[in-house]
Structure 1
Amino acid sequence: MRTADTGRVVFALAFVTLGLLSVFSQDFASVWQPVPQDLPGRAWIAVVSGAIMTVGGVGLLLKRTLVPAAFVMMMYTLLWLLALHVPRVILAPMHEVTWGGCAEIVTLVAACWVLYASMATSSDKPYFASLTGANAMHAARIAFAVALPLIGLEHLVYAKETADMVPGWLPYRIGWAYVTGIAHIAAGLAIALNVLPRLAATLEAWMMGGFTVLVWIPSVMATPSQRFAWTGLMISTVITAAGWIVAASYGEVPWFSLSRLRNRKIELVV
C-alpha cells in the first residue's frame, strides 16, 4: 500500500475511533474540544459531533466517498478551529498552550484539504475549484507548516511538562523536550520556505509517530479502561497521520532539493 493511502487509512480510523468515543461517552474529546460544561444540550451535541467524525472517517476510507468526506471533514475541523480554539487564543494570546492547541487542529484542516485538493475533480460533488489544484495544495501545505512552529514552541515553553511525558527509560528527558520542539520549528520553516520540504515533512511525520508509540501506546496499556488515554492516543495518531498525508503529497519533489523555485515548479505540475 502506498504511503498516501496508509496515511489516509490511519487518519480515517483515528477519526472513527474518536467519534465512537464521543458517541458512547456522550462527551467531547478531552482537551481538544473545550466545549463549555454548561452549554445547553451539551451531551447531545457531543453525540452529533462524534457521529460526524465517525461517518466522516468511514467516508475517508472508501474511494467513492473520499472527496465528499474530505470536504465535510475539512469544513468540520475548520468549524472546530474557529468556534473552539480561535476564541481561546483571542482571550488569552499570551498563553502558548492556546496557540499550540489551535495549531494541532490546523494540521487536521490542512490534511483534509490536501486530500480534497488532490482528489476532487469537476465531476465530483461538492466541487469548489478554488479549493483544488496545485495552488490550493500549496496553501494547505503552508497551513500545515505554520502550525508546526506553534506546536514546537509549546514544547519549549512547557519543557518540564513535555519532559514528564517522555518515557522514564530515556536519558536526558528535558533534552528531548527541547530537541523535539526545535525539530517542529525547523520542519515548519523548511516546508514553508519550500527547502527540503519532502524530507522535512517526512521526518516530522516520523517524529509524531515516535511520540505516539513511545508515549500514548504505553499510556493506554497502563490504563486501558480510561477514556482519556484512548483519546490521547487517537489525537496523537490522527496528527501523525495528518503529517503522513502532507508528506506523501510531496511524492514528486526530490528528497534533497534545496531549490525553492525548482520545488515550486514541480508542485505546479504534480
Structure 2
Amino acid sequence: MSFYKVINHHLIQRNSSWRAPPHATKTKRAYSKSEIEVLHLSFAKSSMAATSRGAMNRQQQLAVTAFALGLMGLGVLALIYGDFALVWQPVPNSLPGRSALAYASGLLMLFGGIGLLFRATAVWSARILFPYLFIWMLLKVPALVVAPKMEAVWLGFGEIAVLFAGGWVLFATLAETNSSRLFTFVSGESGIRLATILFGISLIPIGLSHIIYTKQTVDLIPSWLPFRTGLAYLTGAGQICCGVGVLFAIVPRFAAMVEGGMVSLFAILVWAPAILASPKTRLPWTAFFITWFFASSAWVVATQARFKDRAHSNGIVR
C-alpha cells in the first residue's frame, strides 16, 4: 500500500467515525494528494511551534541534554587550563588578550550549555550559541585557504561544521526570531534545511579521512578489537554513506542516527579508556568532549530536523 493510500485510509476512517447531525449527509471520500500535503505541512508547522515553546519528546530532550553536556565539559576545560580546545579551536597565540578570551569562551560554553537544560533559558542560549559556534567554525577557514588540497584541513573544518550544524538546528527550532529577512533565512524550516545540508556535506570529508589516513585511524582503534584496518575503512565508508543519505534524503533520519551512534562509540571506546589511562593529561579529556559534542550534534539533527522522504519529496515533511 502506497504512502498516500495509507494516509487516505486513516483520514477516511476518521471521517467515517464522525457523527453527523440528523440533517447532514455523511459521505466517504478519498482525500487528494494536495490535501494530504497541506495537512502534513500544517502538522509540521504546529510541531515546530510546540517545540519552540519547549514541548520536546523524550528523544529530543536527551539529544539536547547530551549537546549541553558536551558544551559544558569543554567550558570547564577552558576554565581549568585558561586556553582554547587545542587543535579544535585554533586561536592564534599572537592574538591580544587571548587568555581572557579563552576564559570568556569557557564561561560562554559552560553557561550556554546550562541554559539549554532549562525551558526558561533555552531560547536565549540557542540565540547566543548560534553566532559563537559560527565564529568557531570560521577559525578553520584560514587553513582551507592556505592548504585547500590537504584532506586533513577539510577534516578539521568538517568536524566543527557538524558542531555548528547541531547548534544551528537548535537555533532554528528554539529561537523565536523576528520577521526580518536574515532571521527568516537562518531560522524555522529554512534554517533547519540549510543546517541539515551542511551536516550532510561535512560528514563526507570526515569519512574520507579514515580512508586517506588509515594508519592514524588504526592507531586510535583499541588494540583488542580485531580487523582494525577493516574497521577504519568500514567506519570511513559508513560516515560517507551517512552524509550522502542525509544529503539525498535516503533514509536521512536513520543515517543521522547511525552517525550519532558511531561517533558515540568512538568516544566510549577510544577516548574514555585514554582518560582512564592518563587522567591528568589534557588531550584525552578535550578529545572526549569534542567527540561527545560531535555525536550529540548528530543526535540533535536526527531528532530535531524535519526530513523529507525521497520517495515523497513533493513537499511532504517526514
Shared fold (TM-score greater than 0.5)? Answer: yes
Shift of 1:130: 2.5
Structure-1 residue corresponding to 2:17: none
State how far apart, in whole Å, the 2-side matches of 1:70 and 1:249 are. Answer: 14
Shift of 1:190: 0.8
Structure-2 residue corresponding to 1:31: 87
Correspondences of 1:143-222 after superposition (within 5 Å): 143-222=198-277
Distance 1:116 1:39, change over 3 A: closer
The 3-state SS of whatever aligns with 1:266 is coil
Correspondences of 1:1-270 after superposition (within 5 Å): 2-82=58-138, 84-121=139-176, 128-250=183-305, 258-259=310-311, 261=313, 265-267=316-318
* Paired residues of 1:22 and 1:28 also in contact (CA < 8 A): yes
The one-character-per-residue Cα deviations of 1:212-245 (angstroms, maximum 9, x if unpaired) are: 1110111111111112111111000000000100
- Identity of counterpart residues, as a percentage? 38
Distance 1:119 1:45, change over 3 A: closer
State how far apart, in whole Å, the 1-side matches of 2:95 and 2:224 are. Answer: 43
Q: Letter of the 1:130 partner, please give it.
A: F
Structure-1 residue corresponding to 2:28: none
Structure-1 residue corresponding to 2:31: none
* Paired residues of 1:195 and 1:260 also in contact (CA < 8 A): no
The 3-state SS of whatever aligns with 1:195 is coil
State how far apart, in whole Å, the 1-side matches of 2:281 and 2:137 are. Answer: 26
Q: Letter of the 2:294 partner, please give it.
A: I
Q: Letter of the 1:104 partner, please give it.
A: E
State how far apart, in whole Å, the 2-side matches of 1:109 and 1:201 are. Answer: 15
Shift of 1:119: 2.0
* Paired residues of 1:71 and 1:112 also in contact (CA < 8 A): no
Shift of 1:249: 2.1
Distance 1:249 1:173, change over 3 A: same
State how far apart, in whole Å, the 1-side matches of 2:160 and 2:228 are. Answer: 26
Shift of 1:137: 1.1
Structure 2 unaligned residues grouped into runs of 5+: 1-56
Shift of 1:71: 2.0
State how far apart, in whole Å, the 2-side matches of 1:227 and 1:245 are. Answer: 27
Shift of 1:176: 1.0
Q: Letter of the 2:207 partner, please give it.
A: G
Q: Letter of the 1:266 partner, please give it.
A: V
State how far apart, in whole Å, the 2-side matches of 1:216 and 1:98 are. Answer: 22
The count of residues paired between Structure 1 and Structure 2 equals: 260
Q: Letter of the 1:261 partner, please give it.
A: S
State how far apart, in whole Å, the 2-side matches of 1:249 and 1:13 are. Answer: 17
The 3-state SS of whatever aligns with 2:87 is coil
* Paired residues of 1:26 and 1:47 also in contact (CA < 8 A): yes
State how far apart, in whole Å, the 2-side matches of 1:232 and 1:252 are. Answer: 30
Q: Letter of the 1:226 partner, please give it.
A: T
Shift of 1:121: 3.1
* Paired residues of 2:208 and 2:240 also in contact (CA < 8 A): yes
* Paired residues of 1:197 and 1:250 also in contact (CA < 8 A): no
Shift of 1:97: 1.1
Rg (Cα) greater in structure: 2
* Paired residues of 1:113 and 1:137 also in contact (CA < 8 A): yes
* Paired residues of 2:70 and 2:292 also in contact (CA < 8 A): yes
The 3-state SS of whatever aligns with 2:140 is helix
Shift of 1:114: 0.8
Distance 1:122 1:19, change over 3 A: closer
Structure 1 unaligned residues grouped into runs of 5+: none
